[in-house]
């Protein structure tokens, strides 16, 4: 299915007469049965005259054959697209994007309500349309169009239309898009800004969450189960600007690979209604990772030194589609980050790197032991003195342990969450016993208190003051003037077990991996040492 190619191939102003039958593009259809005729979702293009007799085209999304709407049922109508303009279909793409942002699911801890978002400016979107290949633009437009159809087919149409949408429209589109959209998504997000990016990706994450739930429920969509978790849609991109390497990634939790769990393979339905509600809540969550590394380049007589350090690593689990009026006990249950492993270094097989230096020693914590002796006795009567000894041990514990490591010429920054009560690594822990037992589950109440390992909203922030040691590479001076490709990637783990709720003893740990490339410009004088 290629909606954009069909739109681009519509007759031009001279060839298209207003009296002609409107061109129709069938988006999806189901085979006829004994009870029902063919059901279809289609896009129609109609030419009409504008206010100044200027030819315009209007697009309409229609249903046909769905009970009780057996006649043609329009679902959505576009704004007018002027055929004589230089970019006639720019208003169509702008409208689709604006409506996606306006309908993005509410995160109850969001600081940017939809009402405060400004309208997208046409100039950046026009530049994106002009600067990308037709194939890349087609993949992007198809994803945008299918995302907009979600609210129409699932919320404003019969349930059969929603089933047809997921099976014939969303599944093939999102699987293709996740592997082909890296370049244009990077350009789009950098152009429109982080607030629009979050709204866009949380909408997509919400749709994917619904898709995953329906797959597990098995309501006619069993064929949508992917053969490999690596093919599940997870979006990431990397950029270089102002002396920073940035990696961003978004993964609905249900698309992340399951590392360990005490539950069944399928989460729905559950025997216990409360546990079903809990699983449903956990399914509407999305991992959002932001890795920001600061780098510098220094030129010496015989070599080039590249240095990098952690500027910011921010890991957040967003709750999709819930508001402050929902059941607080259940909504507060969420996955939490339990490990972050980030790597950065030259492309595999690079021979121009002379050596990698790490900047952090492996910790070997010492324990301070204080011993106090108290002697009591009656020495005048030469009685044997009674000796009582008391000892105390004082240790300093941290929830997160930071390490550096190397694999070939790639430097690795590792942050692992440990439970203060037991000292065990949370991501590899399999709790046993009752969830109410504090000695077993030391992570209960993990978002409150002075020693909590997370922010109040469940995020983790690792900044330069916590992990500021640099790593460095020495390169041949012959590489001066080049723009090298530096790889950056990471593995991210999230875990769950009950925080306040006692409805379930369920726990799990999931992880996702992303990898991308960023530029390393070795141009003398461009970067400040």
Q: What is the pLDDT of residues 261-302, one digit of tens each?
A: 876 655 555 556 777 888 888 899 999 999 999 999 999 988
Q: Are 34 and 24 in contact (CB under 8 A)?
A: no
pLDDT of residue 392: 55
Tokens of 27: 């988006």
Quick check: 26 and 6 in contact, CB under 8 A?
no
Q: Label each residue of 159-226 as H, E or C.
A: HHHHHHHHHHHHHHHHHHHHHHCHHHHHHHHHHHCHHHHHHHHHHHHHHHHHHHHHHHHCCCCHHHCC
Output the CA–CA distances (angstroms, integers) from residue 396 to 366, 393, 464, 522, in the order listed. Answer: 9, 10, 21, 43
Closest CA to 318 of 441, 197, 175, 217: 197
What is the structure's pLDDT at 454? 83
Give me the chain's average pLDDT, please: 80
Picking from 362, 349, 359, the residue whose alpha carbon sits closest to that of residue 294 is: 359
pLDDT tens for each residue of 12-21: 766 776 667 8
Domain borders along the chain are 244-267+292-357+398-529
Beta bridge partners of 511: 257, 493
Residue 107 scores a pLDDT above 80 = no
Q: Among 189-203, 326-340, 372-386, which stretch is predicted with the lowest mean pLDDT?
A: 372-386
Token pair, residue 207, equals 């749709």
Here the tokens at position 432 are: 């046993």
Place of tokens 């720019």: 90
Average of per-residue pLDDT across 56-65: 90
Contact assessment for residue 79 and residue 118, using Cβ atoms and an 8 Å cutoff: no
Collapsing DSSP to helix, strand or coil, 92 comes out as helix
Query: How many residues are recorded in the chain?
Result: 529
Give the integer Cα–Cα distance in Å for 91 and 68: 33
Can you tell me the mean pLDDT for 207-235? 65
Under a CB-based contact definition with an 8 Å cutoff, are residues 49 and 32 in contact? no
pLDDT digits (tens, 9 = 90+) for 477-495: 989 999 999 999 999 999 9
Q: Do 104 and 56 form a contact (C-beta atoms < 8 A)?
A: no
Give the C-alpha separation, 118 to 485, whole Å: 36
pLDDT at 207 over 80: yes
What are the φ and ψ backbone dihedral angles of 452, each rounded to 5 degrees? -65, 145
Give the highest mean pLDDT range of 22-31, 341-350, 442-451. Answer: 341-350
- Helix, strand and coil in the chain, % to nearest 5: 25, 35, 40
> What number is the average pLDDT over the span 198-221?
83
CA angle, corner 276, sides to 274 and 282, nearest 5? 105
Q: How far apart are CA 215 and CA 529, in angstroms?
A: 53
Tokens of 416: 């692992």
The Cα 107–Cα 286 span in angstroms is 11
pLDDT for res 438: 46
Cβ pair 441, 509 in contact under 8 A: no
- Grade residue 228 by pLDDT with cuts at 50, 70 and 90: very low
- SS3 string, 204-221, reads HHHHHHHHHHHHHHCCCC
As a whole number of angstroms, the distance between CA 398 and CA 402 comes to 10
Span 149-153, average pLDDT: 92
Taking alpha carbons only, the member of 72, 246, 76, 87 closest to residue 146 is: 76
* Orientation of helix 194-217 relative to helix 90-102, angle to 10°: 70
CA distances from 182 to 185, 186, 390 (A): 5, 6, 63
| Mean pLDDT on 143-171 | 89
pLDDT for res 489: 96
312 strand-pairing partners = 292, 463
Reduced to 3 states (helix: H, G, I; strand: E, B; else coil), residue 509 is strand
- Residue-wise burial string across 162-200, b where 16 or more C-beta atoms lie within 10 A, e elsewhere: bbbbbbbbbbebbeebbeebbebbbbbbebbeebbbbbb
């Amino acid at each position: 299915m290629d909606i954009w190619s069909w739109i681009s191939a519509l007759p031009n102003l001279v060839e298209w007469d207003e009296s002609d039958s409107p061109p129709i593009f069938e988006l999806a259809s189901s085979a006829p049965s004994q009870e029902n005729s063919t059901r279809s979702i289609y896009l129609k293009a109609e030419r009409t005259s504008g206010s100044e007799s200027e030819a315009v085209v209007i697009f309409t999304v229609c249903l046909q054959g769905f009970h009780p709407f057996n006649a043609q049922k329009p679902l959505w109508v576009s704004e007018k697209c002027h055929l004589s303009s230089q970019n006639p279909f720019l208003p169509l793409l702008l409208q689709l994007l604006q409506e996606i942002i306006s309908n993005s699911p509410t995160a109850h801890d969001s600081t940017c309500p939809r009402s405060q978002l400004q309208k997208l400016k046409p100039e950046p979107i026009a530049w994106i349309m002009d600067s990308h290949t037709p194939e890349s633009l087609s993949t992007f437009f198809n994803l945008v169009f299918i995302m907009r159809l979600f609210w129409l087919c699932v919320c404003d149409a019969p349930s059969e239309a929603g089933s047809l949408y997921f099976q014939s429209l969303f599944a093939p589109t999102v699987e293709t898009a996740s592997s082909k959209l890296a370049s244009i998504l990077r350009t789009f997000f950098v152009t429109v800004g982080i607030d629009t990016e979050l709204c866009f990706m949380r909408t997509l994450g919400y749709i994917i969450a619904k898709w995953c739930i329906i797959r597990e429920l098995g309501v006619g969509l069993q064929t949508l189960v992917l053969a490999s978790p690596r093919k599940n849609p997870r979006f990431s991109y990397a950029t270089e600007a102002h002396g920073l390497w940035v990696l961003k990634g978004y993964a609905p939790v249900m698309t992340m690979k399951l590392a360990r769990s005490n539950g069944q393979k399928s989460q729905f339905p559950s025997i216990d209604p409360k546990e079903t509600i809990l699983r449903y809540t956990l399914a509407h969550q999305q991992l959002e990772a932001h890795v920001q590394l600061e780098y510098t380049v220094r030129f010496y007589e015989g070599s080039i030194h590249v240095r990098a350090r952690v500027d910011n690593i921010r890991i957040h689990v967003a709750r999709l589609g819930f508001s402050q009026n929902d059941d607080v006990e259940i909504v507060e249950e969420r996955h939490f980050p339990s490990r972050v492993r980030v790597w950065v270094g030259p492309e595999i097989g690079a021979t121009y790197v002379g050596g990698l230096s790490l900047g952090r020693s492996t910790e070997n914590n010492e324990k301070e032991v204080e011993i106090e002796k108290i002697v009591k006795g009656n020495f005048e009567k030469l009685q044997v003195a009674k000796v009582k000894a008391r000892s105390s041990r004082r240790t300093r514990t941290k929830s997160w342990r930071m390490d550096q490591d190397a694999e070939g010429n790639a430097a690795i920054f590792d942050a692992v969450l440990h439970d203060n009560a037991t000292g065990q690594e949370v991501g590899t822990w399999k709790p046993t016993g009752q969830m109410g037992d504090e000695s077993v589950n030391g992570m209960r109440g993990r978002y409150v208190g002075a020693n909590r390992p997370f922010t109040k909203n469940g995020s983790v922030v690792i900044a330069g003051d916590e992990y500021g040691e640099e790593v460095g590479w020495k390169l041949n001076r012959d590489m001066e003037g080049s723009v090298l490709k530096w790889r950056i990637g990471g593995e991210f783990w999230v875990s769950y077990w009950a925080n306040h709720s006692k409805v379930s003893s369920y726990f799990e740990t999931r992880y996702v991996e992303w990898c991308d490339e960023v530029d390393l410009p070795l141009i003398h004088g461009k970067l400040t040492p």
